[in-house]
Structure 1
């Protein structure tokens, strides 16, 4: 049984059952047409916990000159997959052009005809970050071991992708001019360069003043200061309605950031399992024996 006081899961099975409730379309959602892309649209589609919210904020700051008049970043840069559950008109006009959207889908499952921005991240850091993100929101801290959570993390989601299939789908598009492919680690090391490159990709003129403002407002410190806007408040409210969670669950997306945090938390057996999947699925197609080699290759390509 879920926790009687908070409604949160206390096992991996209960966690999966609660998550399934979240994606059920809202009444009347079937009358809303599916997303219809425009060639100027920018779809931000990293895998979960690989820089999505950071890119959403960077994009929205660039196109609006610094607008912060929103309660949820996914209200102004809407999340395609959750639009039916939230009864959001995904085709509506937005605060500014170009329109921007969030997704976690692979290239193969997104509608064509738009532009796509994706940051990749070390799978071990992405896994630990997702575990900590769900802990305290969907499951009680200390009740779902990482080993159990890992089995769910590697299971393909509603769109049929897991971390590795998602990564490979975007790697295959590395030469596609409509795809902006970078890495979370490189963004951390050279944020100013990435702001200019991202603005250029989106077709947004970027003056030095706008670049400086964007650098400030997409920084970890600034986003932590305004963390409620980046904590999925719409989805948190939905989770309280559909899952019966007590108000005040911890849905904060902006936490510590950084690189290599998994080293202090990841059980060795999960690290070995991730390495084995990489060797079996990613290395044969990319030729890279590790994520670090892939990261280095993307950096070199983007610097050419």
Structure 2
């Protein structure tokens, strides 16, 4: 939940961006205002709406592109994908009316909320990714934007995330409790990497089973790494940074990218033993304790089995 606006220790001392964890947390807390967050929580979706609600860095933008391609036949006339698939937690702060007309049907929205908080009444798509890979991806995304490039290590960032009560694990628990619901489509990041065409078909059937084969093909082609890399600026949150950097106390010109060839397992090789132990403990306390999943790979297999036709 966002915090009230506060003065950060680095403002006014000549530094460009946060230099440590405490400063980064203070800045990040100002990305979304209390009023904006409450506005998102109170949103009343329609039964035909699609809410894409993975945890951060779990393939959200990738899934947005798939859904938008399927509902428009491949329209790319947007400067930033958040313009056509609004982020409900930040729409108010971005000056976007969640009830405004969208460019195509069904309406589609982005969120990172767990099931317990996400507005009810829509249809939902959730993507799961190995939490260590997602953590490493988020660190890369914030490096040079929310903190001075290279100043905060992956290990220190991981320790910070693991010290918080809510994270990937609680998000996954919240959504997996809904695994029997027919209005929730669950996909894994590895599925998207390994068989994009199949995933696009699954999403198409979920969004509108009448979507033609030719539109499915276009949506698949426009969700490939090469295509999204070519149009990278449309997926890099530059409008978000332009609108919210000043509110966060950040200078303009930060660099952040979302289009990358997402890795699997690389995060483990660059984390020290104490962080790996914390990760194991967090998994045991959440996914193993409630569902008996011994590892992410075991959980991912169950997600993949669930998504089979």
Question: Given the two structures, how large is their TM-score scaled by the length of structure 2?
Answer: 0.90
Structure 2: distance between partners of 1:235 and 1:282: 33
Moved more, 10-19 or 143-152: 143-152
2:5 corresponds to: none
2:206 to 195, 201, 204: 201
Instruction: Give the SS at the match of 1:298.
Output: helix
Structure 2: distance between partners of 1:180 and 1:5: 48
Moved more, 236-245 or 1-10: 1-10
Do residues 293 (structure 1) and 298 (structure 2) align? yes
2:255 to 250, 274, 291: 250
Do residues 18 (structure 1) and 27 (structure 2) align? yes
After TM superposition, list the pairs within 5 Å mapping 1:231-270 onto structure 2.
Answer: 231-270=236-275
Instruction: Give the SS at the match of 2:92.
Output: helix
**Structure 1 contact 231–253 (Cα < 8 Å) conserved:** yes
Moved more, 16-25 or 289-298: 16-25
Task: Give CA deviations for 1:200-235 in whole Å, capped at 9, x if unaligned.
Answer: 111253322212211111111111111111011221
Do residues 112 (structure 1) and 120 (structure 2) align? yes
Structure 1: distance between partners of 2:64 and 2:163: 26
Do residues 217 (structure 1) and 222 (structure 2) align? yes
**Structure 1 contact 2–8 (Cα < 8 Å) conserved:** yes
After TM superposition, list the pairs within 5 Å mapping 1:108-187 onto structure 2.
Answer: 108-154=116-162, 161-187=166-192
Structure 2: distance between partners of 1:146 and 1:262: 9
1:91 corresponds to: 99
1:70 corresponds to: 78
Structure 1: distance between partners of 2:261 and 2:274: 24
1:114 CA displacement? 0.5
**Structure 1 contact 154–163 (Cα < 8 Å) conserved:** no
Task: Give CA deviations for 1:235-279 in whole Å, capped at 9, x if unaligned.
Answer: 111233223433321121112323223144333322221112111
1:32 CA displacement? 9.9
Structure 2: distance between partners of 1:170 and 1:32: 19
Do residues 48 (structure 1) and 56 (structure 2) align? yes
Structure 1: distance between partners of 2:160 and 2:281: 17
Instruction: Give the SS at the match of 1:43.
Output: strand
Do residues 9 (structure 1) and 18 (structure 2) align? yes
Structure 2: distance between partners of 1:68 and 1:60: 9
After TM superposition, list the pairs within 5 Å mapping 1:267-286 onto structure 2.
Answer: 267-286=272-291
**Structure 2 contact 40–90 (Cα < 8 Å) conserved:** no
1:190 corresponds to: 195
Question: Given the two structures, how large is their TM-score scaled by the length of structure 1?
Answer: 0.91
Instruction: Give the SS at the match of 1:237.
Output: helix
Structure 2: distance between partners of 1:248 and 1:211: 36
Instruction: Give the SS at the match of 1:109.
Output: coil
**Structure 2 contact 40–88 (Cα < 8 Å) conserved:** no
Q: Which runs of 5+ in 1 are unaligned?
A: none
Structure 2: distance between partners of 1:30 and 1:116: 20
After TM superposition, list the pairs within 5 Å mapping 1:28-43 onto structure 2.
Answer: 34-43=42-51
Instruction: Give the SS at the match of 1:181.
Output: strand
Aligned residues: 300
User: Structure 1 215/301 Cα, relative in aligned 2: closer, same or farther at 3 Å?
Assistant: same
Q: Which runs of 5+ in 2 are unaligned?
A: 1-8
Structure 2: distance between partners of 1:148 and 1:17: 16
